[in-house]
Amino acid sequence: MTTARVDMGSGDDEISLAGGILADGDANVNHSNYFNLGSGNDNFIVGGSIRDTVSKHSSSNVIDLGTGNDHMIVGDSLEDSTLIISKDSAVIDINYDIKGHSALLLGDGNDTIKVRGSVFSDGTMDRFYDVISDNASYGEVYKSAWYGPSQYVLKNGQLHKDAAVAFDLGDGDNHIEVLGVSEDTGAPAAWATTALYAGDGNDSFTVKGNVINVNNYGGEKALDFGNGNNTIDISRNVNSTNIRAGAGDDSVIIGGSLDAEIKDSASTINLGAGNDTVIIKANVGREDASSYVVDSGDITSINLGEGNTLIVGGVWCNTNLNVGSGDDHIYINTLNVQNVDSIFTFDGSNTHSSGNDIIVIDKLLRGELNHFKLNMNTDSDFLVSRFNLH
């Protein structure tokens, strides 16, 4: 397939292709493949990959699932400049990777995304902005209103100039599962660089592998889950990544380390009010702090709301912890603080918290007490079960 426009209108439609979709940019135009499934409960099935002639710098695939409860199956990967949008609920099943500059802009509904490979899509969505707004930034010819039915993503603000590639799932109970089976065949991680905005709702995010580089210090790039009772389960390490959730009872489980091998920027975990649980099964922070620059985004930080449980199975290094009011329970296997201050604050404002906090540290190892600050109220208990300074 080269350059085509398919408009299905209303009704429950099905498009099924045995092979893949290839968008062509040979004509040097800024419009390309466009599928508009309209209203109804639609099925869109592609046996191969969805990609474009990326070297031509003008091709793209835009697939608008429209309104209704829609189902999309891709037998291979989403690649290059591919944009999936919808107004309501969608189930999207990708058999391999999502990469290149591919993005998802979905509506307020209960969305389910399953990727059997890895997610490593980045860059900006400027090409999508140009074609959907009929504002060609290069090329000599474009067709007015080619993408007219999909301009709602401009009006609702999901797509704008200079927007980073993202998975914007809108409000609703959204579920994302990434199996990462191709991570050992060239993918940088099971999930790398791609921002996620899951909106308000009870969301789940499950990744079988590492998560890296969802972090631009001072910016908005993050894994953001909004308000609701959210579950984040990452089986291996998390490096240079911002994890955010709003009010609600959130659970964050990291099967490996948090920032044990960071190089340029650190991670943050920010959770709102609610009974939150954070479990990090290996280390937190990097032991070698010689390259840290305070207040530059190099310091790992965990900021929790009201009433929390934090369990760290490995070493805690050079990482700040802030918790709000409520009864907090903090269990850390080993505290290792060196070169850079670690601050444990149990109030959110360096004054007094209103809860009964319990902090248990199994031992202090190779630490310097003058690099460790603890701000807590008189109702809190601080226990070190084994004192082992080197």
- Other Cβ atoms within 10 Å of 339 Cβ, number: 14
Within-domain flag for 87 = yes
User: From residue 122, how far is each of 45, 193, 265, 379 by CA, in Å?
Assistant: 25, 6, 17, 47
Q: What does 162-185 look like in DSSP terms, one character per residue?
A: TPBPEEE--SS--EEEE--TTGGG
User: 248 is written with which tokens?
Assistant: 């609600």
d(CA 355, CA 325): 5
What range defines the domain where residue 123 resides? 1-209
Q: Given this model, what pLDDT does residue 8 score?
A: 92
User: 325 is written with which tokens?
Assistant: 């009011």
Within-domain flag for 81 = yes
For the chain, the residue count is 390
Q: Given this model, what pLDDT does residue 338 score?
A: 67
Structure confidence by residue, pLDDT tens digits, 197-241: 999 999 999 999 999 999 864 456 899 999 999 999 999 999 999
9 Cβ partners below 8 Å, 6+ apart? 38, 39
Within-domain flag for 197 = yes
Within-domain flag for 339 = no
User: 85 is written with which tokens?
Assistant: 């949008």
Ranges of the chain with pLDDT below 50? 136-137, 139-140, 217-218, 294, 296, 348-353, 387-390
Q: Given this model, what pLDDT does residue 78 score?
A: 96
Q: Given this model, what pLDDT does residue 1 score?
A: 57
**148 phi and psi angles, rounded to 5 deg:** -50, -45
Contact 377, 351 (CB under 8 A): no
Within-domain flag for 240 = no
Nearest Cα to Cα of residue 304 among 245, 221, 372: 245
Q: Where are the alpha helices (DSSP H) in the chain?
A: 126-132, 152-155
Within-domain flag for 59 = yes
Within-domain flag for 205 = yes
Within-domain flag for 132 = yes
* Prediction pTM value: 0.90
Q: Given this model, what pLDDT does residue 91 score?
A: 98
| Domain count across the chain | 1
Q: Given this model, what pLDDT does residue 292 score?
A: 52
d(CA 38, CA 206): 31
